């Protein structure tokens, strides 16, 4: 009888591991996958082109649902595992689905960091991590005009570029005095900033966000020095306004 392998996390790392296991011995395991997101396996790195309108969600699918069927894999999509019962060797999902295992692979990725300031839970404040976030941003771009992106790292700039391409006015707020400081030295960072400014992106450097303001929905960002800027379709990086 085949061993039961359960994968929790239907993301890039977990499914890539399954691909390798299937190559080595396609009949070794009876495989079940739990994924909290309601899709097949997609290339998360390509979410930025989806936001910018250059690709569709279908374009970035790595393994669609047919792949699971073809490989006799049971996929529980949109099903978040809440508990691992190690004594009885089974996982239990939020909707009550259970699955027993001989081998358990956890590949649950990471959660976006939300800037820990008052107002971070307001409507219109989101992270940039998954298809749902991109859908929310695209919808906001249709309904609102002014976006603030908190974080001038790679993801923040990609989000800002996408939102700009969707017709929003975008201000990028960055804590430090140079963009993408982990990857670029100061002259390179200045060149990048100048080139993005030429394309219409606006920057607020060395700005310490103190609060996301607004009645219900986010309407602006207040900084430590007391100044404020408006935001009506607030978005962000992994953390955002
Ligand atoms: C816009 C964007 C651009 C990026 N660009 C780059 C890049 O250029 N280069 C680079 O190296 N990296 C990039 N990254 C990071 C890269 O996408 C991640 O490092 C990679 O996706 C991690 O793969 P993973 O499988 O570990 O996690 P994930 O891809 O996050 O997958 C984990 C999955 O597990 C699911 N999950 C979590 N908990 C549970 C649970 N309890 N039950 C069921 N399912 C669960 C999650 O919903 C998720 O679908 C980018 C990320 C983003 C968001």
pLDDT tens digits along 54-78: 999 999 999 999 999 999 999 999 9
pLDDT tens digits along 120-155: 999 999 999 999 999 999 999 999 999 999 999 999
Ligand 1, atom 22: closest residue by C-alpha: 109
Residues 6 or more apart whose CB falls under 8 angstroms from that of 61 comprise 39, 40, 41, 42, 43
How many Å lie between the centroid of ligand 1 and the Cα of residue 112?
10
Which helix (H) or strand (E) element contains residue 161? helix 154-165
For residue 106, report the distance from its CA to the centre of ligand 1, in Å. 13
Write the pLDDT tens digit of every residue in 2-12.
999 999 999 99
Q: By percentage, how much of the chain surpasses pLDDT 70?
A: 96
For residue 234, the model assigns a pLDDT of 42
Question: Is the CB–ligand 1 distance for residue 14 below 6 Å?
Answer: yes
* Residue of minimum CA distance from atom 50 in ligand 1: 45
Does residue 42 have its Cβ closer than 6 Å to ligand 1?
no
* Distance from residue 214's CA to the centre of ligand 1 (Å): 31
Give 60: exposed, middle or buried? Use CB within 10 Å, 0-12, 13-18, 19+. middle
d(CA 152, CA 34) in angstroms, rounded, equals: 34
Cα–Cα distance list, 237 to 2, 26, 136, 227 (Å): 43, 39, 13, 21
Report the alpha-carbon distance of residue 109 to residue 210 in Å, rounded: 29
Residue from 7, 37, 45 whose mutation best tests the ligand 1 pocket (most atoms within 8 A of CB): 45
On whether the CB atoms of residues 130 and 104 are closer than 8 A, the answer is no
What is the percentage of the chain residues whose pLDDT exceeds 90? 94
Residues 128 and 151: their CA atoms lie apart, in Å, by 11
* E strands in 58-167: 61-63, 74-77, 81-85, 90-93, 98-100, 103-106, 146-150
114 lines ligand 1 (CB under 6 A): no
Closest CA to 77 of 62, 59, 64: 64
> What is the position in ligand 1's atom list of the atom closest to the CA of 15?
25
Q: Within a 10 A sphere around the Cβ of 119, how many other Cβ atoms?
A: 20
Q: How far is the C-alpha of 60 from the C-alpha of 49, rounded, in Å? A: 9
Q: Is the CB of 9 under 6 A from ligand 1?
A: yes
From atom 29 of ligand 1, which residue's Cα is the shortest distance away?
11
Q: How far is the CA of 109 from the centre of ligand 1 (A)?
A: 5
Would you say the CB of residue 106 lies under 6 angstroms from ligand 1?
A: no
Pairing of strands 90-93, 81-85: antiparallel
Q: What is the mean pLDDT of the chain?
A: 94
Cα–Cα dist 184/204, whole Å? 18
- pLDDT for the residue numbered 34: 98
Q: What is the rounded distance in angstroms from the CA atom of residue 98 to the CA atom of residue 185?
A: 50
DSSP 226: S
Residue 69 CB contacts under 8 Å (≥ 6 apart), including other chains: none
Whole-model pTM: value is 0.93
Q: How far is the CA of 221 from the centre of ligand 1 (A)?
A: 28
CB 48 within 8 A of CB 153: no
Which residues is 149 bridged to in the sheet?
Answer: 172, 235
């Amino acid at each position: 009888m085949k061993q039961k392998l359960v994968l929790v996390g239907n993301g890039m790392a977990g499914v890539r591991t399954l691909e390798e296991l299937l190559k080595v011995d396609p009949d070794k395991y009876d495989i079940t996958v739990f994924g909290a997101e309601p899709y097949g396996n997609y290339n998360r790195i390509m979410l930025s082109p989806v936001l910018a309108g250059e690709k569709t969600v279908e374009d970035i699918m790595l393994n669609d649902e047919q792949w699971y069927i073809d490989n006799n894999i049971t996929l529980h999509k949109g099903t978040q595992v809440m508990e691992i019962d190690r004594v009885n060797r089974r996982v239990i999902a939020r909707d009550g689905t259970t699955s027993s295992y001989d081998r358990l692979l956890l590949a649950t990725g990471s959660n976006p960091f939300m800037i820990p300031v008052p107002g971070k839970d307001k409507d219109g404040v989101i992270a940039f991590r998954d298809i749902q976030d991109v859908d929310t941003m695209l919808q906001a771009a249709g309904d609102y005009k002014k976006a603030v992106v908190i974080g001038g790292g790679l993801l923040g700039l990609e989000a800002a570029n996408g939102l700009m391409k969707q017709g929003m006015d975008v201000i990028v707020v960055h804590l430090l005095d140079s963009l993408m400081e982990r990857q670029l030295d100061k002259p390179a960072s200045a060149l990048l900033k100048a080139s993005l400014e030429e394309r219409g992106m606006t920057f607020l450097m060395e700005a310490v966000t103190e609060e996301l303001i607004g009645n219900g929905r986010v309407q602006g960002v207040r900084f430590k020095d007391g100044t404020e800027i408006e935001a009506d379709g607030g978005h962000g990086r992994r953390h955002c306004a």
